[in-house]
């Protein structure tokens, strides 16, 4: 399909598809580990650009919410960062798998969920499912 430019003098001020669909989706990924390197925290997710590529591709600073998950195997240390600025990365072997940089959180722990709201457009459809043999994200329709 060819792109059709707007008529001369017209301005496109909103994208109807994104406007209708963005609020309809959330991307959630489990925090698999937290690491501190040279005073900066990194949260590793079970997922990444292969599931949700929008923030990386368009350079968007996407809001997140950390959803606490209290279940954790007894006796195992649980990495935790509190009142911290962190970078959120995926599990792929590329530096491009960075979803957010320098986002501030009150608390995040391994096992918690990082939730990206307003990802109902350009979320799943824009991602690279099965990239490097990683499983595609599950989709749940409510």
Residues known to be catalytic: 93
Contact 34, 81 (CB under 8 A): yes
3-state SS record for 76-99: CCCCEEEEEEEEEECCCCCCCCEE
Contact 112, 106 (CB under 8 A): no
Rounded Cα distance, 69 and 80, in Å: 12
Give the DSSP per-residue string, 4-53. Answer: -PPPTT------HHHHHHGGG--EEEEEEEEEEETTEEEEEES--TTT--
Question: Scanning the structure block, which residue is given the tokens 């970078």?
Answer: 87
């Amino acid at each position: 399909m060819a792109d059709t430019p707007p008529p001369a003098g017209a301005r496109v001020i909103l994208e109807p598809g994104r406007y209708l669909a963005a609020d309809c989706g959330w991307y959630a990924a489990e925090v698999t580990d937290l690491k501190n390197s040279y005073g900066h925290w990194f949260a590793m997710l079970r997922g990444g650009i292969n599931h949700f590529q929008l923030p990386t591709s368009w350079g968007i600073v996407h809001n997140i919410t950390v959803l606490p998950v209290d279940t954790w195997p007894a006796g195992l240390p649980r990495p935790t960062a509190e009142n911290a600025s962190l970078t959120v990365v995926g599990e792929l072997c590329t530096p491009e798998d960075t979803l957010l940089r320098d986002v501030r959180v009150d608390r995040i722990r391994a096992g918690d969920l990082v939730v990206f709201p307003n990802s109902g457009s350009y979320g799943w459809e824009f991602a690279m499912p099965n990239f490097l043999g990683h499983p595609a994200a599950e989709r749940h329709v409510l």
